[in-house]
Amino acid sequence: MEPPFSPTLDRILAAEPPDLLFHYTSPTGLIGIVKEKQVWATNITYLNDAKEIGHAVDYAMHFLKNLQAPHWTLEVRELLQQMHDNAGAAARRIYLFSLTEERDLLSQWRAYCPPKGGYAIGLPSLQLKVMAKKQGFFLCRCVYDHAEQFAIIHEIVTEYIARYHKRRESGEEIKSARETTGWEFGQHLALYGPVLKHPSFCEEREWRLISGMIPETHPQFDCRAGAAGLIPFFKFNLADEEHSNVVNVNGVQAIVITGPCNDYGAANMSVQFLCKRYLDGVAFGQSCAPYRTW
């Protein structure tokens, strides 16, 4: 689905990522990434931080609730109510995978790695962009700034009001035009809403791989067991036959960072053995974060 007219969103979507983007994970997660050359993009309604994912919905609903113009007719006000009602109807077939610009961030080690140690794998962003396009995803930096978020929501809402008027001018019946416009607004908010994050998360400097609508019949769809039941996810391939080199892309070398642990020697050696077998040529490093739980 193409984004509606929004110069601010267009600028965000066009932003170039840094050469490497990092994903923090457990030893088990790293094994899966390295061996399969895959990451798992989770259905957005099943993310651990689902409340934070709803930030864009809350923001849009507040905006619509308070949007007033004395010259608007009852017809337009009813359209805004329809858009408001559809703002919370997030698409259930959108999948997301999170990365960050930060290679050694204490809050990331704490949030996404087990207490006894984890890893951050840095992947060439050019490879991620190529594979995203081939699998119906897009890679985008998150927006934390209030002014940018306001501009995006304002521009999108204004665009959908204009689309409604075009439908009416073409002869479409009021109820049909209102429902269609409201539904499209809800779908676009679900797709691009994950780009908007609460300002309190700004230190994460997050980038996200976000999918379009993915049906359950897709061959890369699967489910895993979670604490409260099954969690749908998408097996996002990091490589294919045409773009098989994940380790070094245009001179940018993938890297694995060993997180805080009680035995860096053992942790470093084991991850080097793993990568020598399945991802040969990757670089290595270790955290400098002053963090321990052992």
Condensed to tens digits (0 to 9), the pLDDT of residues 103-148 reads: 999 999 999 999 889 999 999 999 999 999 999 999 999 999 999 9
Instruction: Please determine, for residue 162, whether its predicted confidence score (pLDDT) is greater than 70.
Output: yes
Share of the chain above pLDDT 90, in %: 68
Mean residue pLDDT of the chain comes to 90
Give pLDDT tens digits for 203-215: 999 999 999 989 9
Q: Are 16 and 199 in contact (CB under 8 A)?
A: no
Residue 49 has pLDDT above 70, yes or no: no
* Better-scored residue on pLDDT, 119 or 154: 119
pLDDT, tens digit, 9 for 90 and up, residues 53-79: 677 778 887 888 777 666 678 888 888
What are the φ and ψ backbone dihedral angles of 64, each rounded to 5 degrees?
Answer: -65, -40
262 Cβ neighbours under 8 A, 6+ residues apart:
116, 117, 292, 294
User: What are residue 121's DSSP bridge partners?
Assistant: 23, 256
E-strand ranges in the chain read 20-25, 38-43, 95-100, 119-124, 137-141, 206-211, 221-226, 229-237, 248-249, 252-253, 255-258, 283-286
* pLDDT, average across residues 241-264: 95
Question: What pLDDT was estimated at residue 51?
Answer: 59
* pLDDT attached to residue 123: 98
